[in-house]
Amino acid sequence: MPQTRRNLRGKVEEGGSITLAVVTRDRPGALAQFLLPGLKEVAAAGFPVVVVDQSIGPKTAALVEQIPGARCLRSAPGLARGRNVAVRGIATPLLAFTDDDVELPAGWLERIVDVFERAPDAGAVCGRALTPAGVLLPGSADGTYRWPVRPFGLGSGFNVAFRRDALTLVGLFDEELGAGARFRSAEDTDMLYRLLRAGFSVVCSEEITVVHHDLRRGRQEVRLHYGYGLGAGAQTAKHLAAGDRAALRLLVGHAGRHLATLGRAAATLRPNLAGLQVAYLAGVVAGLARGRRR
């Protein structure tokens, strides 16, 4: 079991307790419209801000220059690769990640620090998200989760924070997982899985809620869910190849939930929902097969 970590609350006023990081690639419009105001407020409150820019053009870097004290780091494409650059580039005991299409509420980082302070064995804290219309997106209920809980759906990479000590123990993000990599997702769930496996808890809290502007619909949404399944399958294949049979058991149980949702969607004539489940399950199968060969 991980040891109790250092007290964090006394560092909040100094801005030395937590760093906010975002990885972005050729999306200056989304960054300017959604996240930039929140980044400015976070920096004004004294917290370190790191933007890992993977863009070809200079527009993103120009936006970061508007944030007093923010650092702009560069990396090659790949969400996990960018997150690893952020991990290597910070010195604070906590690190929060968000995406460039997210709106941050006031006090978001402070609440993350509070949750970590109340849960000294937590390796990660996961928040929730609302649509722009105020609808709560799917996610895990408030609570403290420990091994052998399923990591899938436990948290989302656009609203998650980690203890740096925990990341040091389990290692960096898998750069073959996540957007821009061979497998399109699961860099976040893979990290949560590894933390849980190492004995850390993961705390999910509705106190930490953001607004997520994900505008993908139709074929883009189907492709997104296929990618989610692809990452889940590849993540599981990696751990199974290392002798961790529990990873496969957890994925089978998770896939069973998607099969149940598919059945309900078909019975209630909801073809869009059914199509997303089919795409996800197809991705899982492909991820398992391709992940075993990597």
Q: List, as one string, the DSSP characters of 225-288.
A: HHHHHHHHHHHHHHHHHTT-HHHHHHHHHHHHHHHHHHHHHHHTT-HHHHHHHHHHHHHHHHHH
Class of domain 9-212: alpha beta
Q: What is the pLDDT of residue 145?
A: 98
Q: What is the pLDDT of residue 42?
A: 96
pLDDT confidence tier of residue 3, bands split at 50, 70 and 90: very low
Residues 222, 223, 228: CA angle, nearest 5 degrees: 95
111 pLDDT exceeds 70?
yes
Q: Are 54 and 82 in contact (CB under 8 A)?
A: yes
Tell me, yes or no, if the pTM score tops 0.85.
yes
CA 153 to chain centre: 10
78 pLDDT exceeds 70?
yes
54 pLDDT exceeds 60?
yes
Q: What ranges do the domains of the chain cover? A: 9-212, 219-293
4 pLDDT exceeds 80?
no
Beta strand 49-53 with 71-74 is parallel
Residues 161-193: pLDDT tens digits? Answer: 999 999 999 999 999 999 999 999 999 999 999
